Structure 1
């Protein structure tokens, strides 16, 4: 694979060593160009090209379905990861005394929608992260009882980079009739994810991290078999069949996940995501995973030699595109600031230095980061 050819598609490399794709990623040139074309068309022609734009919307739906091994009928566009989780949280037909299981290591997007259910008598149970950065399956399993309706967990945890065992959790959920919800934002686009294999019922992921898209456009997946078990909390004019028959107020919801698209599309965002998805799928997410883990191997080896403690679990099936680390007596915030002053864009999360390279980063950049670290 000629990674240098793809590197040329990321002008950010001319100024920075950007290793914060777990934050907000830079846009590749094809995505930037797609946005410019759309803006120019909208400026000069208004909505004349609307039909063609809608064709790109449906093509993007198909690309997301292909990436997830889903059906396009199971894909909806929402505005962000939180939006999708809110659909799940507010759509389950809860009874007082039911419970939902999350973890104490989740990004808040996968916490507050569930905590808000306490007012409806729903108990929120937290599986505990262990000191080694893992969330053991047994910690989740022991919280399950006959009133557990939902387990909601991240594909990859944002602070440590721990990759949860979705297959094992999904199998347990399917066996026990529990709705399995996944926040996929920290893995989708860098690690292969198969919703059939992992028995996922609902998934939500914004596009501005590993998918290399813009903020404000996200993928929402709802397994067709559970579609009618989820009430639509935000039913709008585009949720119904024949939505363009404007004065026929017949409330019949669409028979697929598009019922959750309550109003007009973020068309520019979807067109941008389309370009990013085509780039990722041209390379192949499996190749991207191998490339990113290989880059991180360089850092892991060098960090250990420099006396840093690796926080991210490194066991088989546990790794992701995120690597978090610390050093005793060294201020992590200060390190991230120093790196930025030297053109390296990383992050500090939960007191850890966090780096998250993508496929276009280079081995030389990893070695430069090691040179800068004390």
Structure 2
């Protein structure tokens, strides 16, 4: 019986013809269907200009529906953004701060989930960085950093360098019991993990689509929980932010009652259409099946890396891991190793002094065997046997 993952690999991922691609925590290759959609938009725009804009708009709204379905949100809670960074900035700058407030952030966060909060210093808002311990972030350490002036906890669903998975259910309880809003950078979580914001009621979430969601760069989502839409100050307001049409004879500044108020102007049409196609693939397979497959591939990478003599970094607890595998080896420079691997047709990354491997659903056992061989070879002294 044919393996459905092999069929998907052949049908949707032409990248496999030239590469063992294990760098989805950086930038993913597009599935064939997503590339087809982007190319079709390009030819349509070249040949017809604005004539078929209504059809583009329908595809945009279908992508919004797909994004909402992926995370269990209402479509009214979804706005399109051009990056996770933009989504974080909209929340950070629009939040109703008071002088003396503070934000709690794990110290190992990606810079884009630290700098926007630090940028609030001139508004009297301070950032409290909480270091990890024993390869993980401990909720009790985050709780200890909070006080009566803590307004936001900003965390990644999965930390970009270590691959540690934060327990969002537990953090929701921690935050909401203290009147603290929870912001989640979900770019490394959506795909390897499932999330239903009805069951895990995060307040805000941002994620670009170009990593595990297999979309183009420059097209992502911002989720604003419904009860925050009127409390979070809208930024970047423009013609699309309001109820009325841009062509109305009179100005009518009434903001949309949905997250679309953060979509001020024109859209990244090819990017969002490509993202919609990629989300359609994930929903077609099933988010739970996608998650299970990625976690299986990541577990196989951890096992083979250890067998090849590399140290797997981070907490080994099943509830702490996701799709990112961080590994290290004494005497091996990870940046040099990543470069050498790429020359051999294997794509991985070096992050914060470690080699980072991030497989996806279509990576097969042959891919992993080639990775194992490269890891074993990298430990041999130059000129040795």
Structure 1 length normalisation: TM-score? Answer: 0.97
- Determine if contact 2:298/2:322 at 8 Å carries over to the other structure: no
- Which residue matches 2:171? 169
Counterpart among 180, 183, 208 of residue 181 in structure 1:
183
Q: 2 CA distance for matches of 1:313 and 1:347?
A: 20
Which SS does the other structure have where 2:233 is aligned?
coil
Aligned to 1:243: 245
Using a 3 Å threshold, how does the CA distance of structure 1 residues 190 and 301 change in structure 2: closer, same or farther?
Answer: closer
**Aligned to 2:154, which of 143, 152, 155?**
152
Judge which range, 76-85 or 287-296, deviates more: 287-296
Alignment counterpart, residue 54 of structure 1, candidates 31, 46, 57: 57
After TM superposition, give the deviation of residue 246 of structure 1 in Å: 4.0
User: In structure 2, how many angstroms separate the alpha carbons of the residues matched to 1:247 and 1:315?
Assistant: 61
Task: Decide which of 337, 353, 366 is 1:364's aligned counterpart.
Answer: 366
How far apart in 1 are the matches of 2:62 and 2:106? Answer: 35
1:256-335 mapped onto 2 (5 Å cutoff): 256-335=258-337
Greater mean alpha carbon deviation, residues 217-226 or residues 245-254: 245-254
Structure 2 contact 192–292 (Cα < 8 Å) conserved: no
SS in 2 for 1:31: helix
Counterpart of 1:10 in structure 2 is 13
Separation in 2, partners of 1:45, 1:191: 40
Task: Give the match for residue 214 of structure 1.
Answer: 216
**How many angstroms apart in 2 are the aligned matches of 1:70 and 1:160?**
28
Please point out which of 68, 73, 78 is paired with 2:81.
Answer: 78
The 2-side partners of 1:26 and 1:312 are apart by: 27
Alignment partner, residue 44 of structure 2 = 41
Counterpart-to-counterpart distance in 1, 2:221 and 2:260: 11
**What's the C-alpha RMSD, in Å, of the aligned pairs?**
1.2
C-alpha separation in 1, matches of 2:218 and 2:299: 33
Q: Alignment partner for residue 348 of structure 1, among 324, 328, 350?
A: 350
For the pair 1:122 / 2:117, whether they are aligned, the reply is no
Distance 2:273 2:301 in 1: 35
* Contact 1:35–1:271 (8 Å) recurs in 2: yes
- Separation of aligned partners in 2, 1:363 and 1:163: 25
- Give me the whole-angstrom Cα distance separating, in 2, the residues matched to 1:254 and 1:57: 17
Write the deviation string for residues 212-269 of structure 1: whole angstroms up to 9, x where unpaired: 1111111010000111110112222211111334442221110011101011111111
Aligned partners of 2:207 and 2:221 also within 8 Å: yes
Q: Is 1:65–2:61 an aligned residue pair?
A: no
- 1:23 aligned residue: 26
Aligned-pair distance for 1:306?
A: 2.6
Name the structure 2 match of 1:200.
202
Per-residue deviation, 1:368: 1.2
CA distance in 2, matches of 1:228, 1:177: 17
Q: After superposition, give the CA deviation of every residue in 1:328-366 in whole Å (9 maximum; x if it has no partner).
A: 222212211111111000000000000001001111111
Structure 1, 302-311 or 147-156: larger mean CA deviation = 302-311
SS at match of 1:125: strand
CA contact (8 A) 1:312 1:322 kept: no
Partner of 2:115: 112
Answer with 294-303 or 63-72: which moved more.
294-303
Deviations 1:275-334 (A, max 9, x none): 101111111121122212222222222222232111132212111110000012222122
Q: What SS is found at the alignment partner of 1:7?
A: helix
Aligned equivalents of 2:273, 2:280: Cα separation in 1: 11
Deviations 1:1-27 (A, max 9, x none): 600111011111111000000001101
Is contact 2:104–2:153 with CA below 8 Å preserved after alignment? yes
1:338 aligned to 326, 337, 340, which one?
340
Unaligned runs of 5+ in 2: 380-385
Per-residue deviation, residues 58-102 of structure 1 (Å, max 9, x unmatched): 111111100000000000111110111111001111111000111
Give the alignment's TM-score, normalised by structure 2: 0.95
